[in-house]
Chain A
Amino acid sequence: MMSYSAGNAEAFETLYQRHKGSLYRFVLRQSGQRSADEIFQDIWLKVVNTRASYQVTASFKTWLYHIARNRLIDQYRRDNIRPVENHSDELDSIESTSFPSPETNLHTQTQHEHLLVAISALPADQKEAFLLREEAGLSIEQIAETCGTNFETAKSRLRYAVKKLQQALLEKTGEKS
C-alpha cells in the first residue's frame, strides 16, 4: 500500500488480486448479491482515494476490512434495515451456477448450502466475526480491532457464531435423517 501511495499502480493491482475474493465474499455474505458489487467497488475506491493519508498503524488487511465494515454499516443505515439475515438470492445463484451436483460431492455441497443459510441467519455481529475469521483470516485480536471491540467480546461473538452454526447444521442433518 505504501508503494501504491508513492505512485506505483502495479502495487495496487497486487493488493487487489490478493484481497478481492475474500473481501467480495465478506461483503456478499452480509449485504446480498444486489448491493454487493456497489459496496465492493466503493470500498476499493475509498482505498484509492485515501492512499495519501494511509499510515502504517495496522496491517493493510485490518484497515481494508475496517473500511468494508463501515461501508456495510452505511448501507444498513441507508436501507434502514437490519443486516441481511436471509440470502435467498445468493442461495439461488449458488444453486443455479455453482452446483454441478456430482454424486460424490452431493453431501458436502448440501452441507455447505446449509452452512451458508445458517450463516445468513446469524446475528450481524456474530456473522461479522465469523466471516472476518473465515474470509479475511483475521485473528481474534484483529477481529476486535476491526470491529472496535475488546478481545473478549470478539472471542465470545465468534464462539456463539460457531455454536449456532453447529446447532443449525445438526438440526438440518436431523431433519434429513
Chain B
Amino acid sequence: MSTEDEKISSLYQQGNKPQPPAHLDDAILNAAKEAVSSTQDTDSINSTKSKTVKGPFSGGWPATVSIAAVLIISIILIPLINEETPTQSTSSDLDIENRSLLEEDTVDRELVEQLDSMKATQRASNVQKKEKEEARQLIQSPSLSSGKAQVFQDALNPATLESNAIKEKSLPMRKLRSIEEESRPEKNNRYNYLLSSPQEDESSAATDSINSQNIPASISALSPRYWLEKIQLLINQNDIKAAKKELDAFKVEYPDEKIEQSILDSIYTPLSKE
C-alpha cells in the first residue's frame, strides 16, 4: 500500500462510523435466538418421537442380521449346493469325458473278450475232459477195433494234448470262434466234411478226426442233428451203404436218439430190395 493509499485509508477511518439502529440489533438477535430454539424444539420433539415410537425394525440389529445371513449363505450353503449339483462341464471337458468313456469302454470290451476267451477255454477243457473220459471208456470196451484204440491212445497222448492246449492257450479267441462256429450249422467246419467225397467218408473215423481236429470221429462226435444231416446227405448222394454205416455208428453213439422215419426208410428199404 502506497503512502497515498494510507492517507486515504486513514482519512476514511478517522471519520464518523455509523452503527445500525438498536431496534435492528434486537430484531436480528431475537430472530437468531428464535431460530435456534425452534430448531432445538423440533429436534427434541423428533427425539421424543423416536424414543416413543420405535418400530420392530428400528435400531441396528437388521443390518447385523442381514450381514450374518449373507455370511452363513456364502460359507455354508454355497459349498453344499456345489456338492449336490454337478458342475457344468465345458465342451472340452465333455470331449475329455467322452474320450475317457470310450477308453473305459474299450478296456471293458477287452476285459469281456478276455473273460469270454477264458470261459471258452474252460468250456473247451471241460469238453476235452469229457471226451477223454469217453475215450477211456471206449478204449476199455472190448468191441473197439485195434485201429480206433490206437487213435484214441494218440488222442489221449499227453504230448498231443499239450500241443492242443498250447494252441488253445495261444489262440483263445480262435478257439472261441471255432466253438461259436460249431454252434452255427451253416458255417460248421464239419459241414464241409459232410460235403466231402464218399471215399473220404469211407475212410476210418480216426483218420477223419485227426484230419479235422485231431479228435476221433466218435469222440469228436457230431451232434445228433448234424450226424443225421450227414446221413441224409449221404442218402441224397445215393450212397446208401455209407449212410447205413453212419447210421449204425450213430445208433451206437446215440442209442436213445430218435431217428427220422424217412432216413430209416430211405436206408433200409433199398437194402431190403437188394
Name A's B-contacting residues (CB within 8 A): 4, 7-9, 12-13, 16, 20-21, 24-25, 28, 37, 40-41, 44-45, 48-49, 51, 93-94, 98-99, 108-109, 111-113, 115-116, 119, 133-134, 162, 165-166, 169
A7 and B36 within 8 A (CB): yes
In the complex the two chains form, what is the Cα distance from A99 to B14 in whole Å?
Answer: 13
A48 and B32 within 8 A (CB): yes
In the assembled complex, the CB of B15 is this many whole angstroms from the nearest CB of chain A, namely 4
Which of B1-41 touch A at CB < 8 Å? 4-5, 8-9, 11-21, 24-25, 27-29, 31-33, 35-37, 39-40
In the complex the two chains form, what is the Cα distance from A20 to B27 in whole Å?
Answer: 13
Main secondary structure of the interface of B (DSSP, over half): helix
Contact with A along B164-183 (1 / 0, CB 8 A): 00000000000000000000
In the assembled complex, the CB of B88 is this many whole angstroms from the nearest CB of chain A, namely 55
In the complex the two chains form, what is the Cα distance from A134 to B1 in whole Å?
Answer: 13
Name B's A-contacting residues (CB within 8 A): 4-5, 8-9, 11-21, 24-25, 27-29, 31-33, 35-37, 39-40
A20-B20, A37-B21, A41-B24 known; A112+B29 contact, CB < 8 A: no
Q: How many A-B residue pairs have CB under 8 A?
A: 85
In the complex the two chains form, what is the Cα distance from A75 to B17 in whole Å?
Answer: 23
In the complex the two chains form, what is the Cα distance from A137 to B66 in whole Å?
Answer: 57
In the complex the two chains form, what is the Cα distance from A20 to B37 in whole Å?
Answer: 22
B28 and A162 within 8 A (CB): no
In the complex the two chains form, what is the Cα distance from A44 to B14 in whole Å?
Answer: 27
A116 and B15 within 8 A (CB): yes
A41 and B27 within 8 A (CB): yes
A residues near B37, Cβ cutoff 8 Å: 9
Can you name 16 A-B residue pairings with CB atoms under 8 Å?
A4-B32, A7-B39, A9-B32, A16-B28, A20-B25, A37-B21, A40-B20, A41-B24, A41-B28, A93-B18, A112-B14, A115-B8, A162-B8, A166-B8, A169-B8, A169-B11
A residues near B35, Cβ cutoff 8 Å: 48-49, 51
